Amino acid sequence: MGKATAVANPNIAFVKYWGKTDDALNLPANPSLSMNLAALTTVTTVEFRPGQAFDVVAIDGHPAVEQALDRVVAHLDRVRALAETPLGRERARVDSRNDFPAATGLASSSSAFAALTLAATQAAGLSLDEAGLSRLARLGSGSACRSVPAGFVLWEMEEVHQVAPAEHWDLRDAIAIVTEQAKAVGSQDGHALAPTSPLHAARVAAVPGWLAAVRDGLARRDLATMGPAIEADALAMHGVMMTSHPSLLYWLPATVAVLQAVRAWRAEGLEVYFTIDAGPNVHCLCGAAAAAEVEKRLKAVPGVHQVVMSGPGAGVRLVDWHLF
C-alpha cells in the first residue's frame, strides 16, 4: 500500500498570473513572480488502495464534491498515467487539510495542488525532481507550480525556478481579511474571461517592465523599488477583471478602505505596499521592522475582520511516506 503525506504553503504573487495561452496545460499569458507564505499550510495525505472502486477525497474534513472533486480526480489520473507500479494505478483516498487561521477565506489552490502532487507521486512510487513536480502541479492549478520551490519563485511559461531562498529577505505579508466568504467566481473561470477585456493586452505588454522592477527590488531587498510595480500590476489585473465580459468586481468597500489607508500611511513614511488576488482581501507587504505597526493599523481599519501575518515560506515537502 502506497501512502504519503506532503505539506505546502500557498504563495502570493507580486506579478500576477491572469489569463492563459493554453487552458489544458495552464500556460500563462505572462510570467509571474511570488513568495511562499510560511504561516499558511496545506497538509495532504494520499493513499492508493487496491480494489477501491473510486477516489474518495476529503477537504478540511468534508467530502469533496463537484468541481473540487473533479479537479482532484483529474490530477490523480495524471499521476496514475505516470505510475510504473500497479499500485499507483489504483483509486486513492485523499485527505487534505488547510491549517489556515479559521475562516479567513484564504483557501488556496496553489498549496492544495503542490501538496497533492508531491503526496500522490510519492504514494505512487514516483520520485520526481523539483522541476518535474512543479510542471505536474501546474497542470492541477497554474499557481501551484510556484509553491513547489522555496522562497521567492519565478514562473515563465513552462519553466519555474527559485529567484531567492526564503532566508534572502524577511519580507512580511500582512493579510487584511475583509470577508470570510468564498468568492463567487473562482480563478479558473476568471482566467478565461481575461481576453474579453480591452485592457488585457495592455497589461500583458506592461508586465516585463513591472517584473524587471520586482526582480531588481527583490535582489537588493528594496521594497521602494518593487512596491510601485507590485501595486500597478495588481490594479491592472483588477482593471482587466472589472472590464471583462462578464465583468468581475471582487472589491468590497473595505478593500478600497485598506488601499487608501496603505497609501496614506506610506505618505507618512511607513513603508508598505498592497497587492490583491482574485478576491477582496488585501495583502500588505512590508519589512520586518514595520510589521507590528502595519498589523496594528490594519486591525483598526473599519471593515477589516482580522489580520494574518506571514513571512516567506519553504517549498513543498514530504512529511511521512510508506511504500509497501
For residue 103, the minimal CB distance to ligand DP6 (Å) is 20
State which residue, 13 or 171, has the beta carbon closest to ligand DP6. Answer: 13
Please choose, from the candidates 177, 176, 169, 175, the residue with its C-alpha nearest in 3D space to the C-alpha of residue 289.
169
Least CB distance to ligand DP6 at residue 274 (A): 14
C-beta of 72 vs 290, nearer to ligand DP6: 72
- Measured from each CB, the residue nearest to ligand DP6 is 142
CB nearer ligand DP6, residue 125 or residue 140: 140
Q: Closer to ligand DP6 by CB, 134 or 143: give it.
A: 143
The distance of closest approach from Cβ of residue 87 to ligand DP6 in the complex, given in angstroms and rounded to an integer, is: 28
Q: Strands 56-59 and 92-98: what pairing?
A: parallel
Identify whether the C-beta of residue 123 lies closer than 8 Å to the C-beta of residue 1.
Answer: no
Q: Smallest distance, Å, CB 169 to ligand DP6?
A: 19
Q: How far is CA 59 from CA 33, 78, 101, 139, 172, in A?
A: 27, 20, 15, 19, 28
Q: How far is the CB of 108 from ligand DP6 (least distance, A)?
A: 8
Pairing label, strands 62-63, 56-59: antiparallel
Contact 17, 143 (CB under 8 A): yes
Instruction: Select 18 or 251, whichever has its Cβ closest to ligand DP6.
Output: 18
Helix (H, G, I), strand (E, B) or coil at 125: coil
Q: Report CA dihedral (282, 241, 253, 33) to the nearest 10 degrees.
A: 10
The residues of the shown chain that bind ligand DP6, judged by CB under 6 A, are: 13, 16-18, 26, 32, 109, 141-143, 187-188, 191, 277-278
